Chains A and B, each alone.
Chain A
Amino acid sequence: MNHLPVLPVLIPLVAGALLLLLHDAPLRLRRLVVAVACLSLLGVALMLVTLADRGGYLVYQLGNWPSNVGIVLVVDRLSALMVLLTAILGAVAASAAAGGLDTRQAHFHALLMFQLMGIAGAFLTGDLFNLFVFFEVLLIASYGLLVHAADGERLRRATHYMILNLTGSSLFLVGLGVLFGLVGTLNMADLAAKIAATPDENVALVRAAALLLMVVFALKGALLPLWFWLPRTYAAATPAVAALFAIMTKVGIYAVYRVHTLVFGAEAGPAAGVAEPWVLPLGLATLVLGALGALAAPSLRTLTGHLVVASAGTLFTAFGVGGADALGAALYYLVHSTLAAAALFLLADLVLRHRPAAGDCLRTDDAIRRRDPLALAFIVAAVSIAALPPLSGFVAKVALLDALAAHPSGAWLWTVVLASGLVVIVALARAGSHLFWRPPPKGHVATTPVAAPAFAETAPLAALLTASLALSVLADPVLAYARAAAAQLAAPSAYIAAVLGQRPVERPGSDR
């Protein structure tokens, strides 16, 4: 029995529970628990990626029930990749928080663990209601991580975040209820298999449910017009949390990629392709508005928040275009943009601390301390996220443009993608030249001492930036993996057969 698929949920759950038991134990012990959990999560995720890359599906039937009765976890290339990304960001956040944040926020470690559990569970589950449950887990945990110490601005943003997402959760339930009422199953593979045979009088309802679910995921994934809360909320988060949040929008995007290719995908008969006509134009508009927002951003953190929005727009656009090529390029882009955004959030915090008077504000002048290393990190991060060569962003953009070319309105897509890319370049050039070149106001004497950032804070940043380079140097295997993952998405019948064909384990000698 291979228990690997459930471990990404169990490891953080057990660690989180342990941390509750140890919540007033010495800091070192708690950090040790977190470190062990993060490292084992990374190890498990790597093993899952290796296993998934053999091309099959790992179907894990919880409680040993048949797939259509109980809950299943399904590991394919996509879910394994997303779990790996989660594990990486978890380690990054834990390390960055060890700079001192984790001493200031009660239950930080436990919340971090539960957050990872929720994200990993959402990526692994093959059951639509279970996806809802994990959405709740990650939502409430992220709320806990956001509200940190109840200071006014953060609390307000976090409350907005919570209210919006609870509204989304209610909508999720409505959509789920409709599907369950009409189709009678919550297992995604089972749903997919049955939805193609929807009788005519139910088609409108099923399509409506599909669209409502799309809205739920779009709210998480930051699609126009549902992302307006995001930049300020992310900007108000502490750096470690903001870095971790780089993957939160990806949860929504993953859900669209998964559910709308599997349940409402090409083989879904009357419900096929219901979301794409909405997602494509809105995704493009999201990309444009995200890029514009970056240009208008008053601080490096809100700028990064808008770049997160822009990357979500790119990913939705790719989904709207559809097909294995576009999705393959998009998955590579997803990995790249998540890591790059996390890096920029971490960097924004370091910049903020090294400009004692102005913080990361892009309107006020201040002398920046430790300029050279910070500027270097900024250049690397900016080059990566602005999709300039030779880092991963460029590879992603070329692959994406290649894939978009096949679309009937490919010329327009190219124009929008390239033009917003230029806007992002301008925005980052303005931000960088302001932060690192502009002299402090006249008569300014830099007196406030700035403590050097801890190794635990700089190491994850360095690692993320190196990852961008590595993703470019080793782009071939990563792209091949992403394309294979997309090919799996584009052909859902294999997934359906694997899940529904899986038999529970025989249990000799038991009464079952």
Chain B
Amino acid sequence: MLFALIALPFAAALALMLAPRAGRNLSAWTVGLAALAGLAILFVLAPAVFGGEVLRARAPWIEAIGLEFFIRIDGWAWLFAFLVLGIGALIVLYARWYLAPEDPPRRFFAYLALFMGAMLGITLAGNLLLLIVFWELTSISSFLLIGFWGRRHEARAGARMALAVTGGGGLALLAGVLVIGHIVGSYDLDLVLASGELIRSHPLYVPALVLVLLGAFAKSAQFPFHFWLPHAMAAPTPVSAYLHSATMVKAGVFLLARLHPALAGSTEWLLIVSAIGLSTLVLGAVAAVFQQDLKGLLAYSTISHLGLITLLFGLGSPLAVVAGVFHILNHATFKASLFMAAGIIDHETGTRDLRRLGGLYAAMPITGTLAIVASLAMAGVPLLNGFLSKEMFLAETLAFESWPSYQLAVPVLAVFAGICSVAYSARFVHETFFGPKGHPPKTPHEPPRLMRVPVEILVVLCLAVGILPNLVVADLLALGAGGVLQGPLPDYHLAIWHGFNWPLAMSAISLAGGLALYAILHRRGIARRIDLLSRGKIAFEGIVAALIGLAQRVTRTLETGRIQGYLLWLLAFILLVGASPFVDLAAPLSTKPAQPAGPMAVGLWLLIVAGALTVTVAYRRRLVAVIAMGIVGLGVSLVFALLSAPDLALTQLLVDMVTTVLLLMALRYLPAISPPEPERLARWRDGAIAVAAGLGTTAIVYMVLTRPHPSIAEYILATTMSEAGGANAVNTVIVDYRGFDTLGEITVFAIAGIVIYALLDRVRLTALTPFAAKGPAPHSLLLNLCAQLILPLAVAVSAYLFLRGHNAPGGGFIAGLVLAIALILQYIAAGSEWVDERLDHDWNRWIGAGLLAAAATGIGAFAFAHPFLTSSTPHVHLPLVGEIHLASAMGFDTGVYLVVFAACLLMLAMLGKVSRWEARD
């Protein structure tokens, strides 16, 4: 049943989301029934709760972080849940009549239900993390409610401001709750409430307290976070009535009360909470007098009353807590009715501007009477509920003992705030209903009967509580206060008449002073001339704007969209990070003698260095740069040859040839000379970084090469014949020991081919630097002849290299490149038409077939219950070629061969397209 209670509003919201055609009545009924059903459940639970029982229901949720779905209902939770659902039900009825036909009712009521559920969750949560979950849900749903009329600027701004302030407070609260959980070892409310001593004596008490208070104050619009509340008035009035009387802003004071046993009772608590409460009380009261908007006046009055409640909880005595709980109840009743009355006035006159209203009593006497009674309650006039709790409040300010000046300030400022509250109540009544007739946009009249019902109920309650407190509210109050204090209640007596005493005198001063103040302000027209705009809004928007400005500057500075800048960061970071270990760790340059360099080695070294330097210096002239890079590649392959690594030398040479040709072809689409770099200084900087990076790499490589090199080479050389079945260890490494790498690499090659295809196939490029003037390409006859001669030879060599690869230099990769180069030569010599005519293939398919062949070979091992790519080697002796092993490694190498060859040709075909167009043109 406890779970049903919390689930009801959410179920209603969900139902509305799923019912696209729900109109005003259906939507309102859905949410209204959810609220009424919730109230019914509360009544069923009432006997147990009033009997002092604490009801608990638990469901596991996320044990790992200590979050349990724990519903815990004690007196305080019950009372607040009652408030949330009771006022909620009235708001639903009111909103049904308030909403205009063009407002989407389904959305409105769904948000409202969501909010109601979240609020209910705060009250019922028995686990502090669960409370946070619902707490932030109220922030989200109130964002949606305040922004309901999102087409208006102020609605959007108000919603965002509320979300930022209360959501930010929620983050602080989360941190605070985590700290409390750390201290107590659990988020379980029962445990936390029982650990007050432990918490207050813990070194982390003050941080925890401050964080929790930040959350509570932000939510309850306490100074200096109060500014969001008036701007939340951009919401439809039912929302304001709900959020700012019984729910949203009350969540903060609810939490203060809820955690009272755990956190209160220290000097820090007393100081912070009472001081903030007091300043909010005064500030809100003064500002409320100088509002021109009906709802603005009520909003600041709400701030002021919240300050009063906060102050009471800050004073911390049991009696003050009783008074605070009582005032929460009373404020909820009269403020909800006043907001609704303001909404009716707005609804029926078309304005909420006090300067345009006046003399409405004649047109709407019933509404007027209701609003007047509620205002009297707000002002704290006897026979109304506000008077009772205010008396208790004043008594507490007097009973408060502290530093002398502070002790004096509290009651004095309380009276001052009381004067202001009488003044703004008087202004609300007088300038709306009496005085000269205003000139509102619409002709005022009474609202629909049912729209008034909620106001009537609440006003009757104000009167009933005010006249017969012991009969109507005493039990409820005892229940709630008992739940807050988690212990015995202090002695107190609810009565209208306590005899002549100081609180009564203070009330009298407030009343008289307030009326006098209003009279002065009104006669001089001061109240109408001053519109106290909240500085908080300006400050808040200033901060947000500054933050956005900063963010934009930072983003512009960092994300330039220029590759040069990004590379600069990368290289500088590499240098910094890479050099850091050498700062404090000794690293000798070499630990074993280097090999002497022969003249050949030195010559090659110079060649490579010269090539690299040429690229660096002449990089703007792309053709030169590409050729110089070819020289570097050639040098490297000669180095391999010199160091007796024929496989590597051959591979490097062939790769270099193919790359250079393809690059040269690509160059045709680029300008011959790249644009110059902008600044001289930047060029020097870039040059310095490049040199440093190059030297750094050289140093590291040198260090590694001049140290002993432990290696698995011996193992491979020893097993290549016996285990991998090939005498050429380089090849067995490629196709067997590390065949998986090779599979990956040919996939890279394959992807490169198809990416070029995907890029260029449907694009028509024009060459910027044609190699020759228009007309048939001037093909060299001699070259053509050579190429034609070489082609069959190359095919044979390729096949030979492929077959013998496992035992002598060669293999699929090399063989594939050899064949590709022969065809590239042919292409250069005879032109693309010649090649196309003879080799008009869909190379994409060949690539796919090659990959499949390689993969299938590897998968073949599955049949023998061996891992992927395990080779099996029946040896076959072929004449001329020598011994080869067929089967697996061969199949894999075939795949390599196909992919390499086909991808080369695909790239060639794509890059060569331009000449075909040129020929056609």
List A residues at the B interface (Cβ < 8 Å).
1, 3, 6, 10, 13-14, 16-21, 23-24, 60-65, 68-71, 105-107, 110-111, 114, 117-118, 121, 129-130, 133-134, 136-137, 140-141, 143-144, 147, 149-150, 159-160, 163-164, 167-168, 171, 174, 177-178, 181-185, 200-205, 207-208, 211-212, 214-215, 219, 225-226, 228-229, 231-232, 274, 278, 289, 292-293, 295-297, 372, 376, 379, 383, 388-390, 394-395, 397-399, 401-402, 405, 411, 414, 418, 421-423, 425-426, 429-430, 433, 436-439, 472-473, 475-476, 479-480, 483, 505, 507, 510-512
Contacts and interface: CB of A to CB of B under 8 A. Distances in A.
A3 B570 CA distance: 40
B65 A479 contact: yes
A398 B705 contact: no
A89 B609 CA distance: 46
17 contacts: A1-B866, A14-B855, A17-B855, A70-B740, A163-B567, A177-B704, A181-B707, A205-B581, A208-B581, A212-B578, A228-B559, A228-B566, A289-B558, A390-B137, A395-B65, A425-B164, A512-B722
B324 interface: no
Contact of A433 (B160, B712, B748, B848): B160
Contacts of B587: 201-205
Nearest to A278: B577
A214 B576 CA distance: 13
A426 B147 contact: no
B70 to A, nearest CB: 15
Contacts of B725: 511-512
A507 B17 CA distance: 63
Given A105-B758, A429-B160, A225 B739 contact: no
A3 B868 contact: yes
Contacts of A200: 586
Nearest to A153: B561
A398 B129 contact: yes
Given A63-B870, A203-B585, A425-B163, A231 B704 contact: no
A386 to B, nearest CB: 9
A511 B873 contact: yes
B104 to A, nearest CB: 8
A433 B150 contact: yes
B555 A292 contact: yes
A130 B561 CA distance: 32
B730 interface: no
Contact of B754 (A20, A117, A231): A20
Interface in B848-869: 848-849, 851-852, 855, 858-859, 861-862, 864-869
Given A228-B558, A394-B136, A293 B754 contact: no
A289 B866 contact: no
Nearest to B708: A182
B737 A69 contact: yes
Given A14-B852, A140-B752, A106 B762 contact: yes
B707 A295 contact: no
Interface string B536-577: 000000001001101110110011110101110111011001
Interface string B819-863: 000000000000000000000001011011101100100110110
Nearest to B875: A511
Contacts of B129: 398
B578 A208 contact: yes
State the 3 A-B residue pairs at the shortest beta-carbon distance, nearest first.
A437-B150, A20-B848, A184-B710
Contacts of B577: 211-212, 214-215, 278
A111 B570 contact: no
Nearest to B149: A437
Contacts of A438: 150-151, 156
Given A20-B848, A439-B151, A208 B751 contact: no
Interface in B512-530: none
A183 B707 CA distance: 11
Interface string B167-201: 11001101100100010000000000000000000
Given A140-B748, A421-B171, 10 more contacts: A64-B867, A65-B737, A133-B745, A160-B566, A203-B587, A208-B581, A398-B178, A426-B164, A473-B61, A475-B64
Contacts of A439: 151
B140 A383 contact: yes
Contacts of A168: 570
A100 to B, nearest CB: 16
Nearest to A105: B758
A470 B697 CA distance: 49
Nearest to A185: B712
B685 interface: no
Interface of B: 17, 60-65, 67, 107, 129, 132-134, 136-137, 139-140, 143-144, 147, 150-151, 155-156, 159-160, 163-164, 167-168, 171-172, 174-175, 178, 182, 207, 544, 547-548, 550-552, 554-555, 558-561, 563, 565-567, 569-571, 573-574, 577-582, 585-588, 591, 697, 700-701, 703-705, 707, 709-712, 715-716, 722-723, 725, 736-741, 743-745, 747-748, 750-752, 754-755, 757-763, 842, 844-845, 847-849, 851-852, 855, 858-859, 861-862, 864-873
Nearest to B566: A229
A278 B739 CA distance: 36
B63 A476 contact: yes
Contacts of B849: 17, 21
Given A21-B848, A140-B752, A62 B740 contact: yes
Contacts of A399: 64-65
Contacts of B844: 20, 23, 107
Nearest to A207: B581
B567 A1 contact: no
B581 A160 contact: no
- Among A278, A389, A425, which residue has the most Cβ atoms of chain B within 10 A? A389
A398 B759 CA distance: 46
Nearest to A174: B697
A147 B164 contact: no
A63 B867 contact: yes
Given A107-B754, A203-B585, A6 B867 contact: yes
Contacts of A379: 140, 144
Contact of B559 (A21, A143, A232, A512): A232
A207 B585 contact: yes
Given A106-B762, A398-B65, A205 B704 contact: yes
Given A137-B744, A164-B567, A177 B701 contact: yes
A395 B567 CA distance: 37
Contact of A204 (B585, B748, B866): B585
A204 B716 CA distance: 30
A160 B563 contact: yes
A13 B855 contact: yes
A232 B17 CA distance: 36
Nearest to A411: B207
A16 B743 CA distance: 13
Contacts of A295: 547-548, 551
B741 to A, nearest CB: 5
Contacts of A473: 61
Contact of A18 (B137, B174, B705, B852): B852
